[in-house]
Amino acid sequence: MSIRPSWLAYGHFFVAVAEAKSFTKAAVALGVPTSVLSRRVAELEATLGLMLLNRTTRRVELTDSGQRLLARMRHILEDAQAALEGIEEYRQSPSGLIRVSMPNSVAIHLAPPWIMEFNRLYPAISIEIDTHPDHVDPVADAFDICIHDMPVQGGSRTVRRLASFNRGLFASPRYLAERGVPRHPRDLARHECICLGLRTPGRATWTMTRGSDHVTVDVAGRIALVSPDLGWAFAREGAGITAIVRNSYAADISEARLIPILPDWDYEPLIVSASMPDRMVTGKTRAFLDFFAQKMMVAKAAMESLGTGSHPQAAD
């Protein structure tokens, strides 16, 4: 069955009657004659071939079909209202508060100059930043945007991929002097590995890639973290082998405080993504997301342009 756009407008009348449980009260609230309201709802019922309302002289009650349509129609009308508000925001100037969650590493190393530039471009937008753990949910925790550096699922939210960063394995000279240098990904099973993200306590699975070769190895470690910065800090202290974005700690690598392990192999890439509640995105949120995505791609290009040729490598 095809419903013309005009019938969607009649849904607004139906919702008003269903919520007021009265044609008279709904007509007053909408500012239309009761006869017009009654006729439009009747036309909607005829189009659907369903009775939506049980009418009595005293009140109006929803049928089972009416209950189901009411729940869906409310969402449709809310989305339509959000769409109109979003267009109005673009027509004027985006304004208001944006609540953003992001990992601590992104908030400290990347975000400050970006946010300052964004504020200059959009002076009417204010930003609240919270460095929640990565598993924060924009719907449950009432955020407009959540930036993630761990895999996320859609569910009740919209997910947009922002950038992918190449990662490698690194360790300190002290750790390598004590435990030896892995020569193949399978050797990692005999080493102390600092694992990032949610995992089975004490163990994790790492996938290493070299061209078309893929090796998956079960590793173990006494330290598990959710912050790449902590992984870097513990690796510098000799706690074990960690995965970090290549060139993200250039000074430590160039001065041999961290040594690349298996430099011909890549660890699983770091995927940075943004998630938002699964509803119409407002103008202010869209402006922030587009700006942040563009800055993330610039950061990726800058890191990749550094190259790895001058990095020291683990010795025998």
Longest dimension (CA), the chain: 92
**pTM of the full structure:** 0.63
Angle of helix 5-20 relative to helix 34-48, nearest 10 degrees, comes to: 120
User: Which parts of 227-280 fold into alpha helices (H)?
Assistant: 228-236, 250-254
40-93 per-position pLDDT tens digit: 888 888 888 888 888 877 788 888 888 888 888 887 777 777 766 666 655 567
Q: Which of 85, 99, 92 is nearest to 131 (CA)?
A: 99
E strand or H helix that includes residue 52: none
% of the chain at pLDDT higher than 90: 32
pLDDT digits (tens, 9 = 90+) for 148-158: 887 776 666 78
Are 231 and 244 in contact, with CB atoms under 8 Å apart? yes
User: Domains of the chain by range and CATH?
Assistant: 5-68 (1.10.10.10), 93-316 (3.40.190.290)
CA angle (240 as vertex; 239, 245 as ends), nearest 5? 110
Q: Could you give the C-alpha distances from 76 to 15, 55, 61, 84, 229, in angstroms and in order?
A: 11, 25, 21, 12, 43
* CB-side neighbour CA atoms (13 Å) of 12: 15
Segment 238-290, tens digit of pLDDT: 999 999 888 888 888 888 999 999 999 999 998 899 988 866 677 888 899 99
Q: Secondary structure of the chain: what % helix, strand, coil (to 5)?
A: 45, 25, 30
Tell me the pairing of strands 96-101 and 125-130. parallel
